């Protein structure tokens, strides 16, 4: 009875739109990767690499990433709180305002209205829209939690609340600027201060948008899928609090060897290494929850997505701290190694968890069985192989270029000019185009599978609904 009042329509809409923006992000990604090897594919003034690259990153993080966060959180919060959303109207507003914001971002970035600050390129009027959007989302989630039926809040809800607060603080502080006109503003901070604020924001956008929310999804969907609870509650608690404590100290690992004061860099380095502990706390918690259940890796494609996802999270959080060490940073910083790191995180970790979450949701919000499990498996291999080609070729490229940048002749002069090192990148950049195309093929399979499920999928047998009953 209560079930009927749950608002699944809004979840359906957010799933649809996040997938659309995800496709846009990947498509623009393939375009910019082609522009790097074929500069004649720049069409000024709008379609040049410099203007398109931020559209790729922002469509990926805000359109796809945050879109999935909205979809899954609005679902999870109703299930975990055993109560419908606080306000359906507000959720509806959130949906349309979300799309308006993404479209406005894409258009203004194409027109060259940008602050240049990474992951925060949109100019101040869009920042205002983003703040309104986030407040609308936050109110609905918090109010729903306040009227929950279960007193105890499950792990996913902690991560949700932390992410909501975290993003709010980070975004508004980094947005501070003095407008010169409707679409041009100057940062409220200058030079080294601006850099330090930006990367405090930048790294914690990773924490609060690309780590905490996927963890909330993982902690919810893994036990739901396997039917076995999370291994250790105590480990969850420790990992949660130490994660949100430590992340905030680490922003300056993006600024090693720059004019930012040394002690900030050293703190960032130390805390980055310590971050391995809470990150791997969640990884182990996930692995150990699979005790006796590993056969499900073969039998259930959702488990495969979830476990591969958390594995990439584990690799990501080992590689990240390594990059945060001064000597290692001196070598790979500014090279193609870093985009390879990013894409293991976004294509591997965040997207794997997102695909799994959406596959889990679809039958429940549409009342239909997933159209084709073989297609879901095919998609799994396409995105896995695409991402591995992407990352591995650019790790090699990064190390190669770093080595050439640092190579010295016996007389103490540099062995290679910049261009001699840069031309060596082309084969690897081509490999990335190829990997990107394979990944995009996986995404197209996903969309086809979703479309067929929604339009032709078999109506759901009652059995899934009973799985649903366990909160």
Phi, psi of 61 (to 5 degrees): -75, -45
Number of neighbouring beta carbons within 10 Å of residue 215: 29
**With CB cut-offs between 5 and 8 Å by kind, which of ligand HEM, ligand HEC, other proteins, none does residue 249 bind?**
other proteins
**With CB cut-offs between 5 and 8 Å by kind, which of other proteins, ligand HEC, ligand HEM, none does residue 341 bind?**
ligand HEM
Number of neighbouring beta carbons within 10 Å of residue 431: 18
3-state secondary structure of 187: strand
Least Å distance, CB 293 to ligand HEC, is 47
Q: Among 51, 117, 254, 432, which residue interacts with ligand HEM (rule: CB under 6 A)?
A: 254
Question: Which residues are paired to 178 by β-bridges?
Answer: 186
**328 CA to centre of own chain:** 25
Q: CA-CA distance, 319 to 300, in Å (whole number)?
A: 29
Binding to ligand HEM (CB under 6 A): which residues in 159-218? 206, 210-211
* Count of residues that bind other proteins according to CB under 8 A: 95
Q: Are 383 and 352 in contact (CB under 8 A)?
A: yes
Two tokens, residue 44: 């000024």
**With CB cut-offs between 5 and 8 Å by kind, which of other proteins, ligand HEC, ligand HEM, none does residue 210 bind?**
ligand HEM
User: 328-364 burial string, b = 16+ CB within 10 Å, else e?
Assistant: bbebbbebbbbbbbbbbbbbbbbbbbbbbbbbbbbbb
146 forms part of the interface with other proteins (CB under 8 A): yes
Q: CA-CA distance, 83 to 70, in Å (whole number)?
A: 17
Measured from the CB atom, is 213 or 442 closer to ligand HEM?
Answer: 213
The DSSP code for 86 is S
**With CB cut-offs between 5 and 8 Å by kind, which of ligand HEC, other proteins, ligand HEM, none does residue 345 bind?**
ligand HEM
Residue 124 makes CB contacts below 8 A (sequence gap 6+) with: 175, 177, 179, 185
Two tokens, residue 226: 């396997």
50 forms part of the interface with ligand HEC (CB under 6 A): yes
Measured from the CB atom, is 241 or 381 closer to other proteins?
Answer: 241
Q: CA-CA distance, 276 to 21, in Å (whole number)?
A: 32
Binding mask 353-392 for other proteins (x = CB under 8 A): ----------------------------------------
Two tokens, residue 35: 């522009």
416 forms part of the interface with ligand HEC (CB under 6 A): no
Measured from the CB atom, is 128 or 318 closer to ligand HEM?
Answer: 318
Measured from the CB atom, is 49 or 97 closer to ligand HEC?
Answer: 49
Phi, psi of 90 (to 5 degrees): -65, -40
Q: What's the chain's length in residues?
A: 471
Number of neighbouring beta carbons within 10 Å of residue 227: 11
Q: CA-CA distance, 186 to 175, in Å (whole number)?
A: 10
Q: CA-CA distance, 316 to 344, in Å (whole number)?
A: 7
Q: Among 49, 189, 280, 328, which residue interacts with ligand HEC (rule: CB under 6 A)?
A: 49
396 forms part of the interface with other proteins (CB under 8 A): no
Stretch that binds other proteins, among 288-296, 414-422, 445-453, 459-467 (CB under 8 A): 414-422
Residue written as token pair 């930006």: 198
Least Å distance, CB 342 to other proteins, is 10
Q: Are 154 and 78 in contact (CB under 8 A)?
A: no
Measured from the CB atom, is 23 or 255 closer to other proteins?
Answer: 255
Binding to ligand HEM (CB under 6 A): which residues in 351-410? none
Which DSSP string do the residues of 109-149 spell out, in sequence order? HHTT-----TT--S-HHHHHHHHHHHHHHHHHHHHHHHT-S
Measured from the CB atom, is 320 or 442 closer to ligand HEM?
Answer: 320
Q: Among 93, 189, 328, 430, which residue interacts with other proteins (rule: CB under 8 A)?
A: 189
Number of neighbouring beta carbons within 10 Å of residue 46: 11
Q: Among 3, 5, 9, 39, which residue interacts with other proteins (rule: CB under 8 A)?
A: 39
Two tokens, residue 366: 């549409």
Q: Among 182, 227, 229, 259, which residue interacts with other proteins (rule: CB under 8 A)?
A: 259
Two tokens, residue 155: 């792990």
422 forms part of the interface with ligand HEC (CB under 6 A): yes
Stretch that binds ligand HEM, among 48-56, 226-234, 287-295, 331-339 (CB under 6 A): 331-339
**With CB cut-offs between 5 and 8 Å by kind, which of ligand HEC, ligand HEM, other proteins, none does residue 195 bind?**
other proteins
The DSSP code for 254 is G
* Count of residues that bind ligand HEM according to CB under 6 A: 27
320 forms part of the interface with ligand HEM (CB under 6 A): yes
Binding mask 314-353 for other proteins (x = CB under 8 A): ----------------x---xxx-xx--------------
Binding to ligand HEM (CB under 6 A): which residues in 300-319? 313, 316-317
The footprint of ligand HEC (CB under 6 A) covers 36, 49-50, 419, 422
The footprint of ligand HEM (CB under 6 A) covers 118, 206, 210-211, 250, 253-254, 272, 275, 279, 313, 316-317, 320-321, 323-324, 329, 332-333, 338, 341-342, 345-346, 349-350
């Amino acid at each position: 009875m209560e079930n009927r009042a749950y608002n699944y329509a809004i979840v359906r809409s957010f799933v649809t739109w996040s997938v659309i923006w995800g496709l846009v992000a990947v498509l623009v990604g393939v375009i910019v990767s082609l522009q790097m090897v074929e500069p004649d594919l720049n069409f000024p003034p709008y379609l040049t690499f410099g203007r398109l690259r931020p559209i790729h990153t922002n469509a990926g993080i805000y359109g796809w990433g945050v879109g999935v966060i909205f979809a899954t959180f609005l679902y999870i919060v109703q299930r975990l709180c055993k109560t419908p959303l606080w306000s359906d109207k507000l959720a509806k507003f959130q949906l349309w305002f979300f799309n308006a914001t993404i479209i406005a971002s894409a258009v203004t970035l194409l027109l060259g209205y940008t602050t240049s600050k990474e992951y925060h390129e949109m100019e101040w009027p869009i920042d205002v829209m983003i703040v309104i959007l986030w407040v609308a989302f936050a109110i609905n989630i918090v109010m729903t939690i306040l009227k929950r039926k279960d007193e105890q809040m499950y792990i996913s809800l902690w991560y949700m609340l932390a992410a909501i607060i975290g993003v709010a603080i980070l975004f508004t502080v980094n947005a501070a600027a003095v407008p010169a006109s409707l679409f041009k503003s100057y940062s409220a901070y200058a030079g080294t201060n601006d850099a330090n604020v930006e990367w405090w924001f930048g790294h914690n956008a990773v924490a609060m948008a690309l780590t905490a929310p996927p963890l909330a999804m993982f902690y919810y969907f893994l036990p739901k899928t396997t039917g076995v609870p999370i291994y250790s509650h105590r480990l969850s608690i420790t990992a949660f609090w130490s994660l949100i404590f430590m992340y905030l100290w680490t922003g300056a690992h993006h600024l090693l060897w720059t004019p930012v004061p040394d002690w900030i860099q050293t703190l960032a380095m130390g805390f980055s290494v310590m971050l391995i502990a809470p990150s791997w706390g969640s990884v182990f918690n996930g692995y150990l929850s699979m005790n006796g259940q590993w056969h499900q890796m073969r039998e259930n494609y959702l488990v495969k997505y979830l476990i591969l996802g958390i594995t990439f999270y584990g690799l990501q959080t080992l590689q990240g701290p390594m990059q945060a060490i001064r000597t290692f940073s001196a070598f790979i910083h500014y090279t193609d190694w870093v985009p390879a790191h990013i894409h293991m995180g976004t294509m591997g970790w965040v997207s794997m968890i997102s695909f799994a979450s959406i596959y889990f949701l679809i039958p429940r919000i549409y009342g239909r069985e997933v159209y084709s499990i073989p297609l879901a498996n095919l998609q799994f291999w396409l995105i896995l192989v695409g991402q591995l080609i992407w990352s591995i070729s650019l790790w090699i490229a990064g190390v190669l270029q770093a080595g050439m940048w640092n190579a010295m002749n016996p007389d103490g002069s540099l062995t290679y000019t910049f261009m001699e090192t840069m031309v060596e990148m082309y084969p690897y950049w081509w490999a990335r185009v190829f990997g990107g195309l394979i990944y995009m093929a996986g995404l197209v399979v996903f969309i086809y599978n979703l479309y067929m499920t929604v339009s032709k999928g078999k109506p759901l047998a009652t059995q899934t609904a009973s799985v649903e009953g366990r909160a």
